[in-house]
Amino acid sequence: MFDLFQNLALGFSIAAQPANIGFCLLGALVGTLVGVLPGIGTVATVAMLLPITFGLAPVGALIMLAGIYYGAQYGGSTTSILVNIPGEATSVVTCLDGHQMARQGRAGAALATAAIASFVAGCFATVLVAALGEPLTKIALWFGPSEYFSLMVLGLIFAVVLAHGSVLKAIAMILAGLLLSMIGSDIETGAGRMTFDFAELSDGIGFANVAMGVFGFAEIIRNLEVSKESRDIVQAKIKGLMPTRQDLKDSAGAIARGTVIGSILGILPGGGAVVSSFAAYTVEKRFSKHPERFGKGAIEGVAAPEAANNAAAQTSFIPLLTLGIPPNAVMALMVGAMTIHGIVPGPQVMTKQPELFWGMIASMWLGNLMLVVINLPLVGVWVSLLRVPYRLLFPSIIVFCCIGIYSINNSASDVLIAAAFGLFGYWLVKHDFEPAPLVLAFVLGPLMEENLRRAMLIARGDPSVFVTRPISAGLLFVAAVMLALAMLPLIRKRRDEVFVE
């Protein structure tokens, strides 16, 4: 326990350096901005800003990128409540009750509840990351190649189970992602694989190109289809930012439950902020004494999902920092950011670079504090940004993305590859394929193949090693159960219902 405080003290001494406070604030501001603006996702933003972090110190770069991720969770709720359009996928359910509250003249209370819920959840999740970091790092020491492989299988299966739509199609996306990740030189023999004799492909496809294509460009193409958006901003002046005593009493339980649900789903690979907000809302509605109030401005319907998405955004750093496995697409980009600075994510980060590990955790708490200030008193500033029409926004995003991709390698072919993935992503959406599992598999692919090959070599070509080693067998068993459950018709129906709601 004493160690924990000592470590946190070290973390705060790093995070409180003026430069790092600056990066934290910058990340929180950019995060809020993309959170507020509909049509710009977190993944695309982090991918866009990746090249910008080249010149920064690693701690500062990671603090800023992390700030963007959890900052977007705060900002997303503002648009949901005031405009009834989710600013971020994680705030979809917040629209239901949040906008109703705004219509009833309680926009201030809704915004404040969302911010308070996010803050409470953020504080709890920060402590959780700090507390779980060390024990999990120790567990990682027992992991051999077969355990790592099985863990990644489990992560990908989670991504399948939590994706909406057909389970089979999600698995197909995983396999396609794995195949795409194998383009380029083989790690062991150096043989060029599936390069079709293009020199541009000999180093493989850059992750940023894929992410920017399927999340950035494809999203824009999709948004352009919708002819004209109607933004029905609640015009009345927002007053009474402080929630009443009754509001706080009503939402306290929901915040606590949302935080717990979000923390758990965030840690699981493949989970993440989107699913946890849906789950928290469903739980609140099901266990409420007055489920009929939901959808008509129930304050719990704002508090629970907002607590859950922020908690999940933060606990998703746990598998990344302790095991080196990114549980979702944003964390996958963080792997990219760490690799740029020569840091290999995994258990050794904590022992070899404690100032990075603890500095980042401490900055999360500071960032949450800043976000409450950024979001509540300054809410008017963000709302006025919503008046910038999309027709001016999307060309800016395109230009910014192009320059971002180009700057990574000074290569025009990277830009063209991203454009191709944009069209591919558009095609995927039209055929009900979800791009998120593909991107996750694309990132995990090289790690997975390396561990698979090592495990097989150690076991002298005997594949039973994955089920005879206990930890590996346990992980695979959980994966199999999850997959079986997802395929069962009854649960599948319930799962679809949750997404429809």
Distance of closest approach, residue 433 Cβ to another protein, in angstroms: 6
Which residue, 105, 69, 71, is CA-closest to 375?
71
- Residue whose CB is less far from another protein, 53 or 73: 53
Distance of closest approach, residue 414 Cβ to another protein, in angstroms: 8
Residue 105 Ramachandran class (φ > 0 left, ψ -120 to 50 alpha, else beta) = left
| Token digits of residue 280 | 């928290």
- Residue whose CB is less far from another protein, 295 or 389: 389
Question: How far is 363 from 62, CA to CA, in rounded Å?
Answer: 10
- Residue whose CB is less far from another protein, 153 or 307: 153
Distance of closest approach, residue 117 Cβ to another protein, in angstroms: 34
- Residue whose CB is less far from another protein, 9 or 399: 399
- Residue whose CB is less far from another protein, 194 or 373: 194
Distance of closest approach, residue 381 Cβ to another protein, in angstroms: 18
Q: Are 402 and 415 within 8 A, CB to CB?
A: yes
Q: What is the DSSP string of 268-300?
A: STT--HHHHHHHHHHHHHHH-S-GGGTTS--TH
Largest Cα–Cα distance in the chain? 71
- Residue 498 CB-density burial (10 A; 0-12 exposed, 13-18 middle, 19+ buried): middle
- Residue whose CB is less far from another protein, 365 or 426: 426
Q: Are 257 and 283 within 8 A, CB to CB?
A: yes
- Residue whose CB is less far from another protein, 123 or 180: 180
Distance of closest approach, residue 50 Cβ to another protein, in angstroms: 12
Distance of closest approach, residue 209 Cβ to another protein, in angstroms: 11
Distance of closest approach, residue 456 Cβ to another protein, in angstroms: 6
Distance of closest approach, residue 45 Cβ to another protein, in angstroms: 14
Residues found near another protein in the complex (CB under 8 A): 51-52, 54-55, 166, 168-169, 171-172, 175-176, 178-179, 182, 186, 188-189, 191, 193-194, 196, 217, 220-221, 224-225, 227-228, 389-392, 394-396, 398-400, 402-403, 406-407, 410-413, 415-416, 418-419, 422-423, 426-427, 430-433, 449, 452-453, 456-457, 460-461
- Residue whose CB is less far from another protein, 50 or 364: 50
| Token digits of residue 166 | 């057909």
Cα-atom radius of gyration of the chain, to the nearest Å? 22
Q: Are 43 and 215 within 8 A, CB to CB?
A: yes
Alpha carbon 447 to its chain centroid, in Å, reads 20
Which residue, 119, 475, 108, is CA-closest to 299?
108
Q: Residues 429, 431, 436, 440: is their CA dihedral positive or negative? A: negative
Beta bridge partners of 193: 184
- Residue 9 CB-density burial (10 A; 0-12 exposed, 13-18 middle, 19+ buried): exposed
- Residue whose CB is less far from another protein, 236 or 416: 416
Question: How far is 45 from 31, CA to CA, in rounded Å?
Answer: 8
Distance of closest approach, residue 496 Cβ to another protein, in angstroms: 14
